[in-house]
A and B are shown apart, each in its own frame.
Chain A
Amino acid sequence: MSKRSLRTTFAPWLRLLAQRRGRLAIGVLLLIVTVFSAVGLLTLSGWFIAASALAGMAMALGMAVAFDVYVPGGGIRFFAVSRTVARYAERLYNHDTVLRLLADLRHRLFVAMARLDDRSLARQRASDWLNRLTADIDTLDGLYLRLLAPPVVALAAIVLLAAFLALWVPMVGLAVAALLVPTWAWLTAGQAWLGMASSRRQVAHLQRLRSQAIEHLTGLAELEAYRSRDWHRQGFFEREEKLSRDQQRTAGVAGFGVALVNLMVGLGMVAALWLAAAAWQQGMISGAVMVMMPIAVLALGEVLALLPTAFTQLGASRGAAERLNEVEEVGQAGQTGQAKVSAGHAQLPTGAFSVRLRGVGLHYPGALVPALQDLDLVLAPGERLALTGASGAGKSSVAALLTRRLPPSQGEILLGDIPIGEVDEASLRERVAILGQRIDLFQDSLASNLRLAAPEATDAQLWQALAWVELADWAEALPHGLATPVGEGGRALSGGQARRLALARLWLRDPGLVILDEPFAGLDAATVARLSPRLDAWLTGRSVLYLVHQLDGGAFDPPGITREQRLQARLAERNQFSDRA
């Protein structure tokens, strides 16, 4: 992945930017007008002062001089205003563009992530992938304003100015171009090359530093008990030291670039002055034009000054693009070495339907042994099968297979006698319901969280659903009722309430197959005693697959089990341990 060329890495994002090429072009144009005004203001002022001085000297000698002060005066005033207006318009317009790009980026990435299978998602939840992802998006939304527009504007400014100077004295134009075009190339490509490694590493260091911080913070109890806090802290600071070294290097390279801009622009000014003076002494140009030339070159400094810092950090943008590309590729191709989840157009039957797994195997890429091997499982319509097994035995894998969130490596899965790969996506989502271990609640109202399951449900139905899980009294007592926000990730709710809300979500649907992973986990005995018969009644006429550690015959066992099948954890141990570091 890291061997890819810069161009292929950035290509998808440049294509995304290209969708707004009209806006980008206008933005660049506004930038050019701003630069033109700034250069024009100084250049014209320089010319005006020199011309006035020469005219004044001539007048002092008693010569008759016709000198129009109004045109250049008006020009100076015009540039003063246009510089201000163009800058304001440019900033506003380009920031609007950047924010539009941000929306595009987020949308695109979200669509890509929605295609990820269960395993990719689970793995990414484990790390601080999410935070990195948002940071990466923020890095890329600046692509245009930091890395695309400034070099274009700078090059345009150099070429236009050189051409303008060449109109008067070709040598001056040539010398300025000869000095500043290579400088421009260095400030972009050269700075990027010098800073690439360290700026790219910086992102990785920051990420590790963050994980180490999280380790430290979540492990404070153990670290304090075992008196190893200082030892762990030392590791944290060693990482910080590595980060510092790279930051220092990057800053050194960027600083070099900034200094170089001023040096080269200054040398361009010197060259222009020398050559223009020579041309003036040969009578090719007037004295005022001679003065104008070096001043015009000096005004270019501002345009080039943006380049070195942005390009020294190119490695960071590249890393961001690479990581986001990875998400897209995984989403499109499925896990490497694994078939992609496919979908067809067959509709699942109404009512309870059968489930059949025949010789199903599931082998995660890179794992030593398969997660599931040669699994046969039959669930008749309306039957309630309890699939038991130790943690890591593969119960969740079975759930992921049945909800088509992972493709099997071998064997076939039939839902209502239809191969799962041929079932229509919408039909599958409607007819197969699952209550997993993890309950996702969204930062939204209670009602929206319930309506996720049934977008068309009326308020009355929502209340009914809440009553069914004994949350109606609680919800009625809330000042905002159904409109109460549940907080980030449902934080305003207790674990038990969240679980019951998820059950309510289930109730709002009418699935033919229900997969329940430890349905009563986190609930107290009294609640379970009241909910269990209701669940039992609701499950009548549906095929049910319970996933449980073990059955103990107590109140926490799910209701109405007709059969138990045990998954062997024998292989899973080693399998879980494969080296994924």
Chain B
Amino acid sequence: MSHDSQVSPRRWLAAHAARQRGWLGLAALTGIAVGALTVAQMALLAWIVSRLLVDGAPLASLTSAFLMLVAVLATRALCQWGQELSGQLASLRIRHAVRAELLDHLAAMGPVRAGARHSAGLANQLVEQVEALDGYFARFLPQLRLCVAIPLLILLVVLWLDWLAALFLLLAAPLIPLFMALVGMGAERLNRDQFVAVSRLSGHFLDRVRGIATLQLFGRTHEAATEVHAAADNYRRLSMRTLRVAFLSSAVLEFFASVAIAVVAIYVGFGLLGYIEFGPAEELTLFSGLLVLLLAPEFFQPLRTLAQHYHDRAAALGAADGMLALLDEPVRPEHESAGAPPIAGRCVALEAVTLAHPGRGQVLGPLDVVVEKGDILVVTGASGAGKSALLQLLAGFVAPASGQRHAAADLRIAWMDQRPLLIHGSLAENLRLAAPQASDAELERALVHAGLAELVAALPQGIHTPLGERGSGLSGGQAQRLALARVFLSDAELVLLDEPTASLDEETEARVIESLRRLGDEGRTLVIATHHPALMAMASRRLALHEGREQTVVAAGG
């Protein structure tokens, strides 16, 4: 996953499009077929009219032409459906590929760097922002090709019919890129301004909704509701100012299309009346004149459709911009195996490591830490002293800014912090996350160790009780114990615990500490960041941190 920061959103999107060349090509091809069949349809219409009016052919003799017209219409409908389907298929595949790329990158960044970003914002990128690419790939890109091909096709047909009429269209043709630029500029600015205004507005709204309980308690909901309306109305006034300009560019396009039709109609009409006595006008027939008129709007149609889809492009570029910013974030070096393997008997060792967080400078180190097998190392220090950072370094969740981490490549670790992961699924599924193959009996044993057995026994569905979204139904302490059960379930050698008893009440705390003691007795290596005296008492070694540095090492007391 190498991304040089020079990749522009446009090029990145193009690279993804190139991987779905087949389906996108099919979408464009069927689109061109639709255009060609439209020309055929108009030609048949003009030909039938001309046969009737000019040649006086009886209606019955034209039955086959009518049938052909129906056949053209049916084929065109099929092609149109094919165009929609293949565009959508390409878009779906690309969106899947983009999600995979983003997830790969997040995994490579590691839990610390990826976790530093707001998870709701990242989820938004992974889900909604990727969805925002849909219109660009499904509609805009195929239409972009049609925008060149179809007007060209029509121009050739008109040129063959009447070169002067073709000249009118051709004169409009150099204006087309101009229109496109106009439309594009309008749409892009519109989109940019809108985007800022929308996010500010929805920020305001969300902010007030989030704090609605506080507003209720202060008895201020009425004022806030009025404010919500005023903010939305203010946003409307702002947007209308932009829209007045933005819509002008499409109005210009509309105007030229209308004028082109009018000019062609009047030219053809006068030509047919014999008022125009130069150029090809004298050779105009009802057939050629009518066909030119019918094709004139079709000449502009692809461009008008493109203008409708222009916001898709702006939306996709905006989304791509954010995704590229994420993809540009540095990843952890390939693997810690770069460091020398640890000396026998050692679980993990940090050698002269430092850690820096962007914006906060150096948060840890330089520091040397050795965790021996079977150690119970307790890390203490005021909040902000770097306890969590140290644990993350030991786990390999983040690469040190300098120094080395030594650990066996196959070192199995267990991790527990204050916000355990709770997935939407049953209790059992939540536990098996740590050991997919575990039997029900093993799950039960882990629950006993974690002090959750009584609770689960009281549930009608036992370990198959479903948890709601993000563990709704579990209290903080219960979630904490569930995470602890995972630790027991896993066969991890090194167990890293970040404030395992924080925000627990007395009783729960006592149970958790009892469980941790049991973990130690099992012979696992424990590293615990904590303030709790009872946990400190468990330590075989203690490490006190102060502003990211080691303060003292106290040999085990008991």
Contact = CB atoms under 8 A, between A and B. Distances in A.
Contact of A60 (B126, B274, B486): B274
Given A102-B232, A251-B85, A281-B58, A211 B244 contact: no
20 contacts: A52-B272, A56-B274, A81-B258, A96-B236, A99-B239, A100-B233, A102-B236, A113-B209, A114-B216, A114-B222, A127-B470, A210-B127, A224-B415, A226-B434, A240-B99, A248-B89, A259-B81, A262-B80, A442-B211, A572-B475
Interface string A447-468: 0000011010000000000000
A218 interface: yes
B261 A291 contact: no
Nearest to A515: B217
A88 B247 contact: yes
Interface in B405-455: 412-417, 419-424, 433-436, 455
B185 interface: no
B77 interface: yes
A96 B128 CA distance: 26
Chain A interface extent, by class: 35 or more
A226 B486 contact: yes
A432 to B, nearest CB: 8
Given A389-B505, A428-B219, A429-B218, 18 more contacts: A50-B49, A52-B270, A80-B261, A87-B254, A110-B208, A127-B469, A213-B123, A217-B106, A218-B115, A224-B395, A228-B436, A294-B45, A390-B477, A391-B505, A425-B219, A550-B505, A569-B505, A580-B468
Given A392-B475, A488-B203, A224 B110 contact: yes
B134 to A, nearest CB: 8
A403 interface: yes
Given A134-B202, A255-B85, A440-B211, A209 B73 contact: no
Contact of A273 (B48, B54, B106): B48
Contact of A259 (B77, B205, B222, B476): B77
B312 to A, nearest CB: 13
Interface stretch (A15-23, A163-171, A231-239, A408-416): A231-239
A428 B219 CA distance: 9
B210 A92 contact: no
B289 interface: yes
A578 B475 CA distance: 11
B235 interface: yes
Contacts of B470: 126-127, 211, 214-215
Chain A interface, >50% SS class: helix
Interface string B443-487: 000000000000100110100011111101111111000010010
Shortest 6 CB-CB distances between A and B: which pairs? A219-B421, A255-B84, A429-B219, A103-B232, A440-B211, A45-B265
Contact of B294 (A126, A212, A295, A442): A295
A49 interface: yes
A84 B415 contact: no
Contacts of B248: 88
A232 B433 contact: yes
A506 to B, nearest CB: 11
B255 interface: yes
Given A221-B111, A223-B421, A247 B88 contact: yes
A518 to B, nearest CB: 10
Interface in A286-318: 287, 290-291, 294-295, 298
Chain B interface extent, by class: 35 or more
Contacts of B119: 214, 217-218
Contacts of B419: 218
Contacts of B413: 225
A252 B85 contact: yes
B182 interface: no
A545 interface: no
B273 interface: yes
Nearest to A439: B214
A209 B207 contact: no
B244 A214 contact: no
A389 B507 CA distance: 10
Interface stretch (A181-189, A263-271, A344-352): A263-271
A329 interface: no
A107 interface: yes
Given A49-B290, A211-B470, A270 B73 contact: yes
